[in-house]
Structure 1
Amino acid sequence: MSEQIGKDINHVPILEGKNFPLWNILIEVELSARGLREICNSDGPPNSDPITINNWNKLNLEAIQLILSRLHPDIIVTVVDAVTVKNAKALWKKINDKYAAQTITNRGRTWLRWECLRFNGNIEEYVKECQSILFDIAGIGITLPQDIMAYSILGKVSRDSNAYDHVIDSMVLTMNATINPQQVLDKLSELLQHKNTKNAFQKTIKSEENQSSALLTKSSDFPYKITYVCRDGKHNPKNTTHSSEKCWAEHPELRPPPRNKNKKKNIDPETHQTGMEALLTNAEAFSLDKWSLVIDCGATHHMFHNKEVFTKLDLSLNRKIATSDPNSNLVCKGHGTVEIMINDKHFVLENCLYVPNLTKNLVSLLDLCHEPITITRNDSVFHLSQNNSTILSGQIINRLMIVTFNQPASLLTEQSHIAPWHHRLGHPGNNVLKSLGLQPPINKCDICIRGKMTTLPFKSHFVETFKPLDCLHLDVVGPISPPSISGHRYFLTIVDQFTSFKITRFLKNKSEAYEEFVKQQNFMENLHDRKIKMITTDGGGEFLNQRFKELANEKGFKHNVAPPYTPEHNGIAERANRTILDKARCLLLGSKLPHQYWAEAVNTATYLSNILPTPSRNNLSPHYMWNKRPPKIRNIRTFGCKVIFSVPKQKRTWKLAPVGEVGILLGFDNDSSYRILKLKDSKVYNSRHVVFFETEFPLVTENQESNKTPVTFSVDEVQEEYFDCQEFLDNEKAPQDQETDNEQINDENSDDTGSDDEERSDPESDHHPIAKKIRVIGPRHPTLINSDIDENNILPYRRRPKAYLTQSDPVTYNQALKSSTCDLWKMAMKKELQTMKDLNVWSEIPIKKEYKLIGTTWVFKTKRDENGQTLEHKARLCAQGFSQVQGEDYSKTFAPTGKLNSLRTLISLAASKNLSFEQLDIKSAFLNAPLTEDVFLSIPQGLDRDKKNICLKLNKAIYGLKQAPLAWYTHLSNWLIKFGFKISKADSCVFYLNTEEPIWLFLHVDDIGVFGKDLSKFKTAIMKEFHTKMLGVADLMLGIKITHNDDAITLSQNHYIDSLLELYGMSNCKPVSTPLVPNLHLEAATTSEKEEFLALKINYRSAVGCLSYLSSATRPDLSYSVSALSQFLENPGIHHWKAFLHVLRYLK
């Protein structure tokens, strides 16, 4: 058996969750082959014989070892516990219960994979993916008619690739291959085999051509036929087209003379294979048009066969070109200058030879580049680069570098100056160019086509406006991935209908739209000395809220809201977004900047959109109509081009240091100042002393592109409209979203910048132990049971490693019944149902069609003490509130919760006045709150009722309902007011009773802290009204340990500190006596310090946030340390991280 364990088992894949069907089959086969399958079904040894027990234990251990070796580490954490690590059957059962269940989630996820499958042109990949998904569909029990699945396979191919339509129709449909999916996939595999055979045969033909001097020619019967060539004065016996007596190779005198010198000459094979054969042998099997050329590293001169490419040509030269073939007939008829456009770049080639009988244009690589160059190849595409800047690109055909060039500059003398301005101005349309007095370019702009392709328009109709601010149109775009260099993912667009002037402001969250609009409102009204009359928005929550309503009432403007799901009715804002996105997309495509610079492109696109003339405004620009002065266009330069900008004397590190630095143009700060990305340190500077190189576009290095990483989204974010990084947006002057050096050259527009630490942190890193600890992530603690407040609940859910490594609470009702503690969970559920019955939470009524039933779920939690010992098992029945609809079964949801400052103030009062501070806990608090809406529940699991005919009408709120917290707060506050309490104006969760013996009450959901001299009457009254548990003198509240002494009350968070030290691997660190190193002055990190810290893959912002919470709660001695560390949230370095660890040593 030891030999079997040593066998290679790499053929069994690692179980990662989604691949369970395949893994299950292969692991079962492997277990059976090793004689271990029965162990996974055995409860124990068949008898008590010691030898039998010993053998069974060995087999059991081998089965566990084999199964665990084929599990992903993340899955091992979820299935291994004290039982499964010792019992193969328990381990096997837990894995199957978790992944083999035909749940709605598994079935939905698998079907979604099938719906999202698309044919990308690769038949082999498509067939493999179809087979994999069909295998999973069969494994989870989804049954569909076979012919439907077969037609779906063909439909995906036909819908996504017109190139294969006729092939599929002829090879598959005509063969009745639509009976079942497997037959369709077999036919597709035959098609792939046919294509591979055809390609292999064509390669064989080319090989025979080189060996037997055969030429490939087109044929109607077969794609190619072999023509054997006679040469060297001998007849080729394989050539059956003529006899030896009529062979032109043996009898040259039989060759007929050319028909006409003006017509194209018929070049025989012997004449065709000249001395250029060494250069062009690989290119003979294909043809190039006159606007293509070959980059040749062996040619000594540029040579062109088409005369029209020359701008200067001297025809006095008439020399034969020497080649390796002595019989070569290549003759140079002249020499001169050629001007061509390659990849939108202008090239002037001097001393080019005019060779009319040359079959291909040749460009000498040595003459083209006088400095060292780099040649990179990617499949069939090559790039020539110099100084990190791409010179030209082309295709590799038959091992030759082929470049296609545009019409020569000699034919475009009138338009040679237009193309650069087309790029500078952000690729405007032809009408805009005409209004500027420029003739649109003849050639279509590839970047414009790729960046601006649209669908048919929808015309909106709006009330006519006569002055600025008569009507503003607002819209929020996002989320955009990846975030900008400042962490923004949305932007707000404001468009003035009368002038078409656009303003954009970047947002990290949609909720920031209100604050940004208020800022812009004040600016616009002061600029034009008039008020806003009307705004038009969509019905998004960022606009349709109480704050916007109050603002409209206060300022006196009208707020028009477009109907739901009709963005066309907000057409002006949508069209402005499209204009800015189109320009930004073109700017990024042309500059080749990384995606995280989309905000810079949007800023520039907005600025350019405002300064360009608008045909609908009599060719006046929005800038002119808005500011009453014309824009300065002469200073516009191409976005993303190479620049050299001046460094002031004060910023130079050495007397003889260069006075200029290399950078990339990122946009325009104002009419005469430019925004420059310095390549050396990746910081943004403002300068007006700039030299431009508009034909060079430097590449950003990999470390400068470090935050170009996949971005994950929460459930709420995924439900929103999603834009990829190529859906960009705008801001005319928004340095708001640009990461600018703290000591930038022009400080007038320095702005706060965000941080990408959250996205940069890589919890999967294997290079640092701290990063591994950060990765310990478990499922969220059920927030529906929000009455249990302890230190763990205060911590962010990603930072509870200890809790998750030990948590084994069931997630579903069935898991609870199958768990080892099922009896305790049954008792907890029975207790919860009895409580609901005692409180008359619902009434059983017959189901009617008009009732909207809400589902329920059970939430289970093991309540433990400070040492981790089990106190009780709690089960709570919760409503699935996500199915509720506002206006139907709920209206308002917000309920206040107590503030930490209020609690500290009351504790301070209790300490100074020697008041009693006791804590109450109202059991099942939400179940006491009456509902004002009609809400109906389906029969929950565990309640024996007729589910088809009976439903539950809620009389009281239950956990999970959207309005439950508000209902409970309203019910309790009404009772307290009736008792005589008044609500504090400073905090809605602080109540006070003005009597001879005043009482203060602090409320946080169902946890209540009471302060006063004599609390007996109040406790008696509240116990009569609610099922209240008297906890005595307050000991733990809001995650804060409360210690009562004779002369003081002490607040501490030792448990939180211990968790924080454990989280960052500092539990055994050496303590220090000061929060920071004495006389330490933290400064901005250098590039090397940033890179050293980024290598740790640690979230600096989150780490400082943990200290910030501790400082604000119970440790004011950390205030200065937190303030100092918080100044570097944007770009932390290794020294800042060491300072953070020093604070942890102080906490130790």
Structure 2
Amino acid sequence: MTGRREFFAELDSDARGSVKFGDASAVEIKGVGSVIFTTKAGEHRLLTGVYYIPALRNSIISLGQLDENGSRVLIEHGVLRIWDRQGRLLAKVPRGGNRLYVLDVQVAQPVCLAVRRDDEAWQWHERFGHLHFEALKRLSAKEMVRGLPCLDHMEQFCDICVITKQRRLPFPQQASFRAKERLELVHGDLCGPVTPATPGGRRYFLLLVDDLSRYMWVMILGSKGEAADAIRRAQVGVEAESGRKLRVLRTDNGGEFTAAEFASYCADEGIQRHYSAPYSPQQNDVVERRNQTVVGMARALLKQRGMPAVFWGEAVLTAVYILNRSPTKALDGRTAYEAWHGRKPVVSHLRVFGCLAFAKELGHIGKLDDRSTPGVFIGYAEGSKAYRILNPKTQRVRTARDVVFNEGRGWQWDKAVDDGSTPTYDDFIVEYVHFKEAGGATSSSSPGTPTPAPKTTSTPVPATPTAPQLATPHTPAPAVTTPGSSSSAPAHAEHNPTKFASPLTHDEERIDGYYGGEPLRYRTMEDLLGDQPVPGLVPRDLEAQLQLACEDGEPRSFAEAERDA
């Protein structure tokens, strides 16, 4: 805890509380954030969960909190030593005259990427979705990939990393079981709903992770009901590619995974089903960790060039593509791509997500016409050595091989072209929506600070096909919105705070997200419907249908679901 506001690299001013001292006095907490300090070698280290208490005159570090975060603390012969989780010495402090250990810390600020983009190491840091420098060094030193130059850069944090990659306490370090063959065990998890939806109306993504190789597959979905079909398609593809049969699928107890029809399909295919216990995501920790990593990298990819949040689907697909070619602690000296395919991946084609790209025109063009069209790089084409380029003016996505990149610049979505030094920090939100009347909850809002209603955007975006795929879609189509159109939330959402209701009674059978001990908050019916009429339904009829959807138990067949409709 500290009273110095200038120490913080990132601060959440909404967090409130109080701290009591030994003399029964209390001081008020005005925020929680992260502080970056520099080691003697010049490397950056991040101290998270730091309380901002303006009344404090001296800064205090809790040894108990360091121990909870996995650091090692040793006091011996009048010297205090602190190691991080990787066994690297962070601090060595001699005991003072008053039996206190006073640590002189050099506070640092995150590196601004706008002034470092000409540096080769920082450029590869962006290309790899803000992968930390220690991992980049291992990739090049151990020759785990092809096409990556030798990088020997000290560990430092950039401004995008600090904003997008904050986490809470880690899961257990290692699982007790590890598969011996590919597809012996596959972990699956559904993340969402995500706000805002993609241009194609998708709000979920399904992540599958092979336990042995840690190779990942991701599918962007429009609803939870598409998860079972997406798993079937993924199974056919990976079994044909590997020549092996899927043996065990481990998921949580979400209704999309426990439906009777999907259970019958798994039984017919000889697939064993393993489920994690309610409120115990640690039992499916492999995919839960990867979910955190994917979402954190997707945020960084969007923010590094100011991409609108509606492109979170493209960012998630690109993040999985990069992470499959990145080192992981579960594999010694290999990437997930090599563990699955048996060969080292090539990374020389990687480019900065969201950067300005000029795709060559290959059709019939005049002598004086432009030979290339400016656009935005939004990912890698599946099954071909090409890039996916978005033209924001025509709202089209094209697959092109002949592309010239300007990785230091990005598209200015409200003007023209910008140098990327002032990214817009619109973020996407993963949320769960429930209703006041379901389960008989009629009490006031649950504890916690209400979150504001998500902002909408009128940015030109590409349309996305509705069918789930294993990678980015190929056939583009015009988007519904136009550059001049605007989408505004209802007036009550702009002026009134979001209303929340108490949790439902049997949420352990539905909730498949990891909340890290935080209280769940559910939006009320009035907050969702607002003052606008619902087309084709009166609020009472809609409420009855939502009540039916939130009842305990999933329909066991289509006929049962049709009867309940």
Counterpart residue number, 1:427? 130
Counterpart residue number, 1:336? none
Counterpart residue number, 1:661? 373
Question: What CA distance in whole angstroms lies between the structure 2 residues aligned with 1:499 and 1:723?
Answer: 38
Superposition deviation, residue 479 in structure 1: 0.6
SS at match of 2:29: helix
Counterpart residue number, 1:561? 275
Q: Which amino acid aligns with 2:388?
A: R
Q: Which amino acid aligns with 2:242?
A: H
Q: Which aligned pairs between 1:610-629 and structure 2 lie closer than 5 A?
A: 610-629=324-343
Q: Which amino acid aligns with 1:486?
A: G
Counterpart residue number, 2:183? 469
Question: What CA distance in whole angstroms lies between the structure 1 residues aligned with 2:127 and 2:346?
Answer: 13
SS at match of 2:398: strand
**For residues 467 and 738 of structure 1, do their structure 2 counterparts lie closer, same or farther at Cα, with a shift above 3 Å needed?**
farther
What whole-Å deviation, never above 9, does each CA across 1:1113-1139 have from its counterpart, x for those lacking one? xxxxxxxxxxxxxxxxxxxxxxxxxxx
Superposition deviation, residue 555 in structure 1: 0.5
Question: What CA distance in whole angstroms lies between the structure 2 residues aligned with 1:588 and 1:568?
Answer: 28
What whole-Å deviation, never above 9, does each CA across 1:131-173 have from its counterpart, x for those lacking one? xxxxxxxxxxxxxxxxxxxxxxx999535375555299xxxxx
Matching residue within 109, 115, 128 for 1:345? 115
Superposition deviation, residue 120 in structure 1: 4.5
Q: Which aligned pairs between 1:435-514 and structure 2 lie closer than 5 A?
A: 435-436=138-139, 437=141, 438-459=151-172, 461-514=175-228
Contact 1:599/1:738, CA 8 A, preserved across alignment? no
**For residues 895 and 121 of structure 1, do their structure 2 counterparts lie closer, same or farther at Cα, with a shift above 3 Å needed?**
closer
Contact 1:664/1:678, CA 8 A, preserved across alignment? yes
What whole-Å deviation, never above 9, does each CA across 1:283-315 have from its counterpart, x for those lacking one? xxxxxxxx99xxxxxxxxxxxxxxxxxxxxxxx
Contact 1:494/1:573, CA 8 A, preserved across alignment? yes
Q: Which aligned pairs between 1:693-842 and structure 2 lie closer than 5 A?
A: 693-701=406-414, 715=434, 739=463, 750-751=474-475, 798-799=534-535
**For residues 554 and 753 of structure 1, do their structure 2 counterparts lie closer, same or farther at Cα, with a shift above 3 Å needed?**
farther
Does residue 519 (structure 1) correspond to residue 233 (structure 2)? The answer is yes
Does residue 158 (structure 1) correspond to residue 25 (structure 2)? The answer is no
SS at match of 2:190: strand
Does residue 548 (structure 1) correspond to residue 262 (structure 2)? The answer is yes
**For residues 763 and 711 of structure 1, do their structure 2 counterparts lie closer, same or farther at Cα, with a shift above 3 Å needed?**
farther
**For residues 641 and 159 of structure 1, do their structure 2 counterparts lie closer, same or farther at Cα, with a shift above 3 Å needed?**
same
What whole-Å deviation, never above 9, does each CA across 1:36-56 have from its counterpart, x for those lacking one? xxxxxxxxxxxxxxxxxxxxx
Question: What CA distance in whole angstroms lies between the structure 2 residues aligned with 1:764 and 1:480?
Answer: 20
Superposition deviation, residue 698 in structure 1: 2.4
**For residues 635 and 756 of structure 1, do their structure 2 counterparts lie closer, same or farther at Cα, with a shift above 3 Å needed?**
same
Contact 2:198/2:311, CA 8 A, preserved across alignment? yes
Question: What CA distance in whole angstroms lies between the structure 2 residues aligned with 1:515 and 1:622?
Answer: 25
Question: What CA distance in whole angstroms lies between the structure 2 residues aligned with 1:422 and 1:685?
Answer: 26
Q: Which aligned pairs between 1:14-413 and structure 2 lie closer than 5 A?
A: 120=14, 158=29, 160=31, 165-166=54-55, 343-346=113-116
Contact 1:473/1:497, CA 8 A, preserved across alignment? yes
Question: What CA distance in whole angstroms lies between the structure 1 residues aligned with 2:234 and 2:549?
Answer: 36
Could you list the runs of 5+ residues in structure 1 that have no partner in the other structure? Answer: 1-117, 123-153, 169-290, 293-340, 348-408, 410-415, 727-736, 742-747, 766-796, 812-858, 860-879, 899-964, 967-1004, 1006-1148
SS at match of 1:166: coil
Superposition deviation, residue 534 in structure 1: 0.4
Q: Which amino acid aligns with 2:212?
A: F
What whole-Å deviation, never above 9, does each CA across 1:905-947 have from its counterpart, x for those lacking one? xxxxxxxxxxxxxxxxxxxxxxxxxxxxxxxxxxxxxxxxxxx
Superposition deviation, residue 687 in structure 1: 0.6
Question: What CA distance in whole angstroms lies between the structure 1 residues aligned with 2:266 and 2:224?
Answer: 19
Matching residue within 507, 510, 532 for 2:246? 532
TM-score, reference length from structure 1 = 0.30
Q: Which amino acid aligns with 1:598?
A: W
Q: Which of the two has higher C-alpha Rg?
A: 1
Counterpart residue number, 2:403? 690
**For residues 342 and 883 of structure 1, do their structure 2 counterparts lie closer, same or farther at Cα, with a shift above 3 Å needed?**
closer
Contact 1:431/1:615, CA 8 A, preserved across alignment? no
Paired residues, number = 387
Does residue 592 (structure 1) correspond to residue 306 (structure 2)? The answer is yes
Superposition deviation, residue 499 in structure 1: 0.8
Contact 2:199/2:463, CA 8 A, preserved across alignment? yes
Question: What CA distance in whole angstroms lies between the structure 2 residues aligned with 1:576 and 1:158?
Answer: 33
**For residues 752 and 554 of structure 1, do their structure 2 counterparts lie closer, same or farther at Cα, with a shift above 3 Å needed?**
farther
Question: What CA distance in whole angstroms lies between the structure 2 residues aligned with 1:638 and 1:476?
Answer: 27
Q: Which amino acid aligns with 1:427?
A: H
Counterpart residue number, 1:607? 321
SS at match of 1:468: coil
Contact 1:646/1:689, CA 8 A, preserved across alignment? yes
Matching residue within 267, 292, 295 for 1:581? 295
Question: What CA distance in whole angstroms lies between the structure 1 residues aligned with 2:15 and 2:339?
Answer: 50
Does residue 637 (structure 1) correspond to residue 340 (structure 2)? The answer is no
Question: What CA distance in whole angstroms lies between the structure 1 residues aligned with 2:363 and 2:558?
Answer: 57
**For residues 686 and 540 of structure 1, do their structure 2 counterparts lie closer, same or farther at Cα, with a shift above 3 Å needed?**
same
Superposition deviation, residue 649 in structure 1: 2.3
What whole-Å deviation, never above 9, does each CA across 1:531-572 have from its counterpart, x for those lacking one? 101010001111011122111110001100000011111111
Matching residue within 677, 680, 684 for 2:393? 680
Question: What CA distance in whole angstroms lies between the structure 1 residues aligned with 2:464 and 2:536?
Answer: 36
Question: What CA distance in whole angstroms lies between the structure 2 residues aligned with 1:453 and 1:429?
Answer: 13
Could you list the runs of 5+ residues in structure 2 that have no partner in the other structure? Answer: 1-11, 17-24, 33-50, 58-107, 142-150, 418-423, 439-449, 455-460, 466-471, 492-532
SS at match of 2:208: strand
Q: Which aligned pairs between 1:803-882 and structure 2 lie closer than 5 A?
A: none
* % same residue: 25
SS at match of 1:700: coil
Q: Which aligned pairs between 1:1002-1017 and structure 2 lie closer than 5 A?
A: none
Superposition deviation, residue 582 in structure 1: 1.8
Contact 1:501/1:623, CA 8 A, preserved across alignment? yes
**For residues 636 and 552 of structure 1, do their structure 2 counterparts lie closer, same or farther at Cα, with a shift above 3 Å needed?**
same
Contact 2:182/2:213, CA 8 A, preserved across alignment? yes
Question: What CA distance in whole angstroms lies between the structure 2 residues aligned with 1:708 and 1:417?
Answer: 28
**For residues 616 and 478 of structure 1, do their structure 2 counterparts lie closer, same or farther at Cα, with a shift above 3 Å needed?**
same
Counterpart residue number, 1:1048? none
Q: Which amino acid aligns with 1:681?
A: T
SS at match of 1:629: coil
Superposition deviation, residue 417 in structure 1: 2.6
What whole-Å deviation, never above 9, does each CA across 1:237-270 have from its counterpart, x for those lacking one? xxxxxxxxxxxxxxxxxxxxxxxxxxxxxxxxxx
Superposition deviation, residue 490 in structure 1: 0.2
Question: What CA distance in whole angstroms lies between the structure 1 residues aligned with 2:171 and 2:282?
Answer: 6
Superposition deviation, residue 586 in structure 1: 1.3
